[in-house]
Amino acid sequence: MLVSAKDMLNKAKAGHYAVGQFNINNLEWTKAVLLTAQELNSPVILGVSEGAGKYMCGYKTVVAMANGMLEELKITVPVALHLDHGTYEGAYKCIEAGFSSIMFDGSHYAIEENIAKTTELVKVCAEKGLSLEAEVGSIGGEEDGVIGAGEVADPKECKAIAELGVTMLAAGIGNIHGKYPADWAGLSFETLDAIQKLTGDMPLVLHGGTGIPEDMIKKAISLGVAKINVNTECQLSFAAATREYIEAGKDKSGKGFDPRKLLAPGFEAIKATVKEKMELFGSVGKA
Ligand code: 13P
């Protein structure tokens, strides 16, 4: 059964490790993430952006696929199905479809409107036992065609949103989605420290997990980050492994064109990336 992310994140915050959110794109992705979590006895969060939800034939299809896999693959570790960067309308659609966790990204609204909409969703999610992630300070980079600038959140605004009763809080600390540019200034630990001081036990979320150096990841966890989102890195490893298979001409040999063979190296590559991240984040054995 899909679970809220609340318990796994509170445990992670108290235990000084982070749970990975791995964004899914299709059946292979979902299966790879779930099997790796089970093998490593790690809690896990499946992230679904609105664009990926649409690609996978809608939220109901995603919920049915995730629930089916939990049963058929005998997954016993805690798994949350989480809307990533949801709009206000998208949040309601996912609540209705059976997601167990919601992110409402109101970071592009004025803080008053972000507070008003988040307050409403806190109530709705609490009634249904779902976890809710809010965001302050937009995360830069490109996601679903939207390009943000990599803001640094105002710690006082973070406190105001945290106090609404959300489960977890994403705050911009100079992180961006996708690959980091060569001249990236790095994460702002001063900001993270100030946010943690004002938000106490609130599990903090680090978006843009792809390409952040290991020492920065560890330091972020030591300063209260309990959830780290990874998307692009799985896409890059899937693409590289698939390219290698095709370039080696394996699709032209025997039954190598069978999707069950053609997609296998990419599937294994996602598993390897997820394993590496779970080990780095410290969630192995924490299910
Ligand atoms: P990356 O694609 O940079 O790993 O970011 C993922 C993310 O933050 C999803 O919300």
Residue 144: what pLDDT?
Answer: 57
Residue 274: what pLDDT?
Answer: 98
Q: How far is the CA of 9 from the centre of ligand 1 (A)?
A: 18
Residue 185: what pLDDT?
Answer: 87
Of all atoms in ligand 1, which is nearest to the CA of residue 232?
2
Name which of 36, 20, 18, 17 is nearest 28 in CA terms: 36
Residue 148: what pLDDT?
Answer: 54
Condensed to tens digits (0 to 9), the pLDDT of residues 247-258 reads 999 999 999 999
Residue 278: what pLDDT?
Answer: 98
Condensed to tens digits (0 to 9), the pLDDT of residues 29-65 reads 999 999 999 999 999 999 999 999 999 999 999 999 9
Q: Around 277, how many Cα atoms within 13 Å sit in the side-chain half-sphere?
A: 31
Is 36 near ligand 1, meaning CB less than 6 Å away? no
Q: How far is the CA of 49 from the centre of ligand 1 (A)?
A: 10
If pLDDT is split at 50, 70 and 90, which confidence band does 226 have? very high
Are the CB atoms for 277 and 209 separated by under 8 Å? Answer: yes
- Angle between helical axes of 155-162 and 189-199 (0-180°, round to 10): 30
Active site residue 105: no
Assess whether pLDDT exceeds 90 at residue 141: no
Of all atoms in ligand 1, which is nearest to the CA of residue 207?
8
Q: How far is the CA of 254 from the centre of ligand 1 (A)?
A: 37
- Name the closest-CA residue to atom 9, ligand 1: 229
Is 151 near ligand 1, meaning CB less than 6 Å away? no
Q: What is the 3-state secondary structure (H, E, C) of the chain?
A: CCCCCHHHHHHHHHHCCCEEEEECCCHHHHHHHHHHHHHCCCCEEEEEEHHHHHHCCCHHHHHHHHHHHHHHCCCCCCEEEEEEEECHHHHHHHHHHCCCEEEECCCCCCHHHHHHHHHHHHHHHHHHCCEEEEEECCCEEEECCEEECCCECCHHHHHHHHCCCCCEEEECECCEECCCCCCCCCCCHHHHHHHHHHHCCCCEEECCCCCCCHHHHHHHHHCCEEEEEECHHHHHHHHHHHHHHHHCCHHHCCCCCCHHHHCHHHHHHHHHHHHHHHHHHCCCCCC
Is 208 near ligand 1, meaning CB less than 6 Å away? yes
Catalytic site residue from 7, 84, 154, 183: 84
Name which of 203, 143, 212 is nearest 184 in CA terms: 212
If pLDDT is split at 50, 70 and 90, which confidence band does 137 have? confident
Average pLDDT, the chain: 95
Residue 25: what pLDDT?
Answer: 98
Residue 182: what pLDDT?
Answer: 87
If pLDDT is split at 50, 70 and 90, which confidence band does 146 have? low
Is 232 near ligand 1, meaning CB less than 6 Å away? yes
Q: How far is the CA of 246 from the centre of ligand 1 (A)?
A: 27
Exposure string for 153-177, b = 16+ CB within 10 A, e = fewer: bbbebbbbbbebebbbbbbbbbbbb
Of all atoms in ligand 1, which is nearest to the CA of residue 23?
9
Q: Which of 83-97, 116-130, 142-156, 228-242 has the lowest mean pLDDT?
A: 142-156
Which domains does the chain show, CATH number per domain? 6-281 (3.20.20.70)
Residue whose structure tokens are 């843009």: 208
Residue 61: what pLDDT?
Answer: 98
